[in-house]
């Protein structure tokens, strides 16, 4: 049965459960997230839980490959204490950076922890790459070149 299912999927694209977005390789960038349906400005593209960690843990993670995948909240003033960094469990974690993004990350704090929502800030066409602005881009090593 599994082999029949594999035949129905595009081998270059990996879809989310709802088939609203997919992941594929982007030359010069690595993996990217793309729209499989059109999104209007204001639409929630994805909502994902996160793991919040402190500055000491961030310093450890900065020395690993995970550095490129964790988030620093831009709304730090609403947080109390040193916990400001997050690993997000979802496609949001591999959305590429753009200085002219078509989506943004919106944070919501619930009893179950912080949730990150990827929200369209422009209309997004089918097969268009979904991008957002990295708020901690100045902290990346100089060896990383961001491709628009």
Structural domain contains residue 148: no
Per-residue pLDDT at 13 exceeds 60: yes
pLDDT at 86 (0 to 100): 81
Segment among 23-37, 49-63, 96-110, 118-132 with least mean pLDDT: 49-63
Q: What is the pLDDT of residues 49-92, one digit of tens each?
A: 888 777 787 788 777 766 666 767 756 555 555 447 888 888 98
**HEC letters along the chain:** CHHHHHHCCCCCCEECCCCCEEEEEECCCEEEEEECCCECCCCEEEEEEEEEECHHHHHHHCCCHHHHHEEECCCHHHCCCCCCEEEECCHHHHCEECCCCCEEEEEEEECCEEEEEEEECCCECCCCEEEECCCCHHHCCCCCCCCC
Structural domain contains residue 144: no
Structural domain contains residue 147: no
- Number of structural domains found in the chain: 1
Structural domain contains residue 96: yes
Domain CATH for 98? 2.170.270.10
pTM equals: 0.73
The parent domain of residue 12 ranges over 2-139
């Amino acid at each position: 049965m599994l082999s029949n299912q594999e035949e129905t999927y595009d081998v270059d694209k990996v879809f989310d459960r709802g088939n609203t977005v997919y992941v594929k390789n982007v030359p010069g960038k690595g993996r990217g997230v793309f729209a499989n349906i059109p999104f209007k400005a204001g639409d929630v593209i994805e909502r994902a839980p996160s793991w919040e960690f402190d500055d000491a843990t961030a310093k450890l993670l900065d020395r690993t490959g995970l550095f490129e995948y964790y988030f620093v909240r831009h709304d730090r003033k609403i947080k109390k204490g040193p916990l400001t960094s997050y690993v997000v469990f979802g496609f949001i974690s591999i959305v590429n950076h753009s200085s002219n993004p078509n989506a943004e990350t919106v944070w919501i704090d619930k009893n179950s922890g912080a949730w990150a929502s990827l929200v369209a800030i422009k209309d997004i066409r089918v097969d268009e790459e979904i991008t957002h602005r990295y708020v901690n881009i100045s902290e990346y090593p100089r060896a990383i070149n961001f491709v628009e």
